[in-house]
Amino acid sequence: MDLKPIICKLRESDGPIYETIIQEIRARILNGTWEDGVKLPSDKAMAAELGISHITLAKALNELRGLGLLVRRRASGTFVKSPLSLDSDPNKASLPRIAVIFDDATEKTFRQKLFLEIYHRLEAAGLSMVFFSSRNSPEKQYEQLGRIINDPLLHGCLVWSILNHEQVAELLKSRPKTFPLVFMDKYYKGLQHDVAAYDNYNCALSMAQYFIKRGYRKFIWLENDFDCLYSSIADRRQGLTDGLKGMELQKFSINNKNLPQLLSNQSGKQVIIVSYFAQALIVKEQLAGAGVVLPSDFCYATFETDLDNSDQLREFTGFCFNSGLAAEAVNILLCRLNGDDRSIISKTCGWHIVEPSMAAAAEPGLG
């Protein structure tokens, strides 16, 4: 396997190294230069020949595996999995391919309930998945979707969107009418599009009622500066506001460097509500790092969309959305592939509550 052309590209390119590697390897697989079944050098040997770190190479190869262009076989190595090979297999050649786009991909992504259920439900329906990661870049996701909706080898797309209203409007204009595009947990007001979403508004409304019944009258809402762009977070904020019916609700950004001081100045029985679980962990770390110790009558609450084990919540009261989003998203996709011509198809999923005592009891050795 000749890596010299890729080495030359790496020297010429001023972009991220791993992106250059992805582009060059992808191009060689798709144009047939690297044939199906060809074994790549070991990661260590390949990284050394390219003159890059093993970590950078691993990041690029992981994304290519996510795209379905490489496959790792235990104890054997990494091999090319060219989509051109479908032509030689009549069964695979007729298998519709569905693009699935996440905002980002980490080591945990491919073990998450949402990802796994999407994969298995597509497989059960006789569809294959082609996975894309936007690496938290709206611009990259916009470019990806622009290519996907016009790719004759793809038959539909499920997307965890990080796009703004204008970007989605442009994509919907250019999307072929027969190409199914299903947004997951995001909707854009005024635009006609299919969506499978968590019932964010009613969940937050229920959260407000839950704490009011327990005697709380003061509430703090924390969110990231960018959260206001997304309908899911906006609906949580609005549901909470409506449920509190005029009670005190202070709103802070977790990006505020003075947040530890602002929270340490609070007193009385209060609930700190963070827009979603990953952000809640960041807030806890911020406060611990600043040496802030909140009064015992403070309570933490948050929302979670893909929690495999309730014990992870520990000190939080968690409003956890049920794992039905994948099923609803794939069902909408199948409706479209089967000729459903409704203007839009919209589905929502419910939730359940995990209290701190329940989380602790679920953890081995506790409770």
To which residue do tokens 């049920």 refer? 322
91: Cβ–Cβ under 8 A, 6 or more apart, which residues? Answer: none
| The two structure tokens encoding residue 77 | 């190595």
Helix (H) or strand (E) holding 198: strand 194-198
Judging by DSSP bridges, how do beta strands 157-159 and 128-133 pair with one another?
A: unpaired
Per CATH, is 200-322+352-362 categorized as 1.25.40.20? no
Domain borders along the chain are 1-82, 200-322+352-362
1-82 and 200-322+352-362 have identical folds: no
Q: Categorize the per-residue pLDDT at 366 as very low, low, confident or very high, splitting at 50, 70 and 90.
A: very low
How does pLDDT run across 236-249, given as a tens digit for each residue?
999 999 999 889 89
Q: Is the whole model's pTM more than 0.85, yes or no?
A: no
DSSP secondary structure string for all residues of 119-184: HHHHHHTT-EEEEEE-TT-HHHHHHHHHHHTT-TT---EEE-----HHHHHHHHHHS-TTS-EEEE
Distance in Å from the first CA to the final CA of the chain: 57
Architecture in CATH of 1-82: Orthogonal Bundle (1.10)
* Each residue's pLDDT tens digit, 126-156: 898 989 989 889 999 999 999 999 888 899 9
Q: Are 276 and 249 in contact (CB under 8 A)?
A: no
d(CA 267, CA 282): 22
